[in-house]
Amino acid sequence: MNRGLRHVALRTVDLARTERFYVDVLGLRIAFPHRGMLFLETPGGGDLLNFVATRHGFDPAAGGLDHIGLRLPPARWKAARARLRRAGARVTGRRGRTAIYVEDPNGYTVELYCD
How far is the C-alpha of 115 from the C-alpha of 113, rounded, in Å?
Answer: 7
pLDDT of the residue at 44: 67
Q: What is the dihedral of CA 8, 14, 15, 17, to 10 degrees?
A: -110
Q: What is the pLDDT of residues 95-115, one digit of tens each?
A: 888 899 988 766 778 888 887
pTM of this prediction exceeds 0.75: no
Q: What averages of pLDDT result for each successive group of 10 residues across the chain (115 residues)?
A: 72 88 83 92 78 79 76 84 87 89 80 84
pLDDT of the residue at 60: 67
pLDDT of the residue at 49: 86
How far is the C-alpha of 97 from the C-alpha of 25, rounded, in Å?
Answer: 36
pLDDT of the residue at 2: 53
How far is the C-alpha of 95 from the C-alpha of 111, rounded, in Å?
Answer: 9
Which domains, from first to last, does the chain contain? 4-55+65-113 (3.10.180.10)
pLDDT of the residue at 106: 65
Distance, first Cα to last Cα, the chain: 12
pLDDT of the residue at 1: 47
Q: What is the pLDDT of residues 24-34, one digit of tens each?
A: 876 788 998 89
pLDDT of the residue at 3: 60
